[in-house]
Structure 1
Amino acid sequence: MEQVKGLLIDLDGTLYHGKNMIDGADALIRQLREQKIPYLFVTNNSSRTPEQVAEHLIGMGIPASPEDVCTSSLAAASYIAHESPGAKVAILGEEGLRQALIESGLTITDSEQPQYVVQGIDRSFCYASLANALRWIQGGAAFVLTNPDLLLPSDTGLTPGAGSLGAAIEAASGVKPVVIGKPSSILMKYATDRLGLSPSETAVVGDNMRTDIAAGVNAGCRTVLVLTGITTKDNMEAQMEAAGCRPSYICQDLYEAAKLLCNE
């Protein structure tokens, strides 16, 4: 880890489960701050703004500020703004995505033919949403998906994620989206650029082999798997086989991760 100068840290499953902090998460972030080790919280969640993510973390006792947060919405907005500054964009998503696109100087439309259809989690998605997306994409709009998560945990169990909605649009239109979030390297590239570091100088910390660790490997980062969420000691080998990669390091919990990441 001597070459690692910054960290990209996953949230749900790594630092917390829903509204409950995982043991050691607050201590880990405080140690990173004390040692002035640069990091970003990197999440596929496209619904929340950075301010809302930071508020959620602070409410559990984890130190955070909006500047620490890197979402798939921010990366999607940056990707489009770099390709087509000021482009007309149609949104199928929530407040975090809308704010990111507007702040990147993109023009939001639902009445004209857009250049891009950007879709994230959208809990108001309906048949009309699917029909509009199909019409726009058939009219020449590029299809951008914030993140491919098929399922999301909730207080009542698993619910459909952005990837499930994207699968419906892809099936109807016959067009595969540009995927921004993990396991795509696009989100990782956006995050390492924000840190001002190369991928080889950065480590990705996460609980999910098929998203967090795969994204880190795809981007050329070091990877630290923590067995605090999706990937466990019991399913680890199966998860690695499914992901088609292995992490650089494996930590049983966040206390073990702190020893590794904070050079103790």
Structure 2
Amino acid sequence: MKQYRAYCFDLDGTIYKGTEVIEAAAQTIYELQKRGIEPYYITNNASVNREDVENKLAKMGIVAKRERIYTTAVASALYCAEYHASSHIYLYGEEGLRKAFAEQNLRVVGPEEADVAVVGINRESTYESLSEVMNVIRNGATFIATNSDKIIPTATGFGVGNGSFIRLLAHATGIEPLYIGKPESTMLELVRESGGYAKDEMVMIGDNYDTDILCGIQYEIDTIHVAGGVHTQAQIQQREKQPTYFVENLTELL
């Protein structure tokens, strides 16, 4: 297998499942670090920020550099800091999203003042709260979605992903959002810019074809699908575009 300078790992389903680390992933990251290669961590989870991910990985025995962690909360805040710096932003999500926007000193407001609505996973969603964000969008706010994941891995199987809530809101409003997370390339572009990499020096690694693998394919970098997550190798082999590599566990990268 080709060696790379920038190994971009998905988190949920690739490095851990829920609160349980995948031992092959931890071993692989440790070996890469011994070789002087510090990985990147690319997650569609908008409920967490860099500090949250750093702390979670540390509890699993993985030492991650904070500046190499990209969540969709962080990426959405960086996007809005560049393109909506003077906007009034309504956030629908969890604490990680709010922290990321606070770190960028963006103007976060209530539903009546908003001209931008950023929607991330909210596991306390209710009929009333979804109706509120729907009306913010219907009233003209720019609709931004942190990611389009239909489902997300959990320790016991899968949970409803942010993308499923987004489809509900898009159907109710008739408005399609701008997506930030995988398979869009925003986070990979942030990685490339941060390290000055060429695309042939980067690889995207994950278990989900529709997010991780398509993200790498569309960004025109190599991809590695790891078994045991959202999609099986047999399912992916039915797709038109294939990953660069399939592995049963991440130690095969070594």
Establish whether TM, by shorter chain, passes 0.5.
yes
Q: Do 1:208 and 1:225's aligned partners in 2 also have CA atoms closer than 8 Å? A: yes
**Partner of 2:213 in structure 1?**
213
The amino acid of 1:166's aligned partner reads I
Give every structure 1 segment of 4 or more consecutive aligned residues whose post-TM-superposition deviation is greater than 6 Å: none
Retained in 1: the 8 A contact 2:116–2:142? Answer: yes
Please show how residues 174-213 of structure 1 align to structure 2 within 5 Å: 174-213=174-213
Per-residue Cα deviation, 1:34-56 (whole angstroms, up to 9, x for no partner): 22224211101110121111111
Q: CA deviation at 1:187?
A: 2.6
The residue aligned with 2:9 is: 9
2:223 counterpart of 1:256: no
Deviation (angstroms), 1:80? 1.5
Contact 1:210 1:239 in 2 (8 A): no
Question: Is residue 2:235 matched to residue 1:238?
Answer: yes
Task: Answer yes or no: is the 8 Å Cα contact 1:73–1:146 preserved in 2.
Answer: yes
1:69-88 alignment to 2 at 5 Å? 69-88=69-88
Q: Matched residue of 1:255: which SS?
A: helix
Task: State the match for 1:165 in structure 2.
Answer: 165
Q: State the secondary structure of the residue aligned to 1:230.
A: coil
TM-score normalized by the length of structure 1: 0.88
Q: CA deviation at 1:143?
A: 0.6
SS at match of 2:238: helix
Matched, 1:96 2:96: yes
C-alpha separation between the residues in 1 aligned to 2:60 and 2:3?
Answer: 31
Distance of aligned partners of 1:63 and 1:128 in 2 relative to their CA distance in 1, 3 Å threshold: same
Identical positions, percent: 34
Partners of 2:157 and 2:3 lie apart in 1 by 40
> Quick one: structure 1 residues 111 and 137, their matched pair in 2 at CA, closer, same or farther if it must change by over 3 Å?
closer
One-letter identity of the residue aligned with 2:15: L
C-alpha distance in 1 between matches for 2:178 and 2:130: 17
The DSSP-based 3-state class of the residue aligned with 1:12 is coil
For 1:20 and 1:101, locate their aligned partners in 2 and report how far apart those are by CA, in whole Å: 29
- Asked if the contact 2:13/2:229 (under 8 Å) is kept, the reply is yes
Q: TM-score, normalised by structure 2?
A: 0.91
| 2:128 counterpart residue number | 128
1-structure distance, mates of 2:224, 2:136: 40
Instruction: Measure how far apart 1:157 and its partner are.
Output: 4.4
Change (3 A) 1:227 1:156: closer
Q: What's the offset of the Cα at 1:214?
A: 0.7
CA RMSD of aligned residues (A): 1.9
Aligned residue pair count? 254
Is the Cα contact below 8 Å between 1:213 and 1:224 reproduced in 2?
yes
Question: Does structure 2 retain, via aligned residues, the 8 Å contact 1:92–1:125?
Answer: no
Question: 1:116: Cα distance to partner?
Answer: 1.1
2:57 alignment counterpart: 57
One-letter amino acid of the structure 2 residue matched with residue 54 of structure 1: E
CA distance in 2, matches of 1:10, 1:195: 18
Q: 1:59 to 1:83 in 2, by over 3 A?
A: same
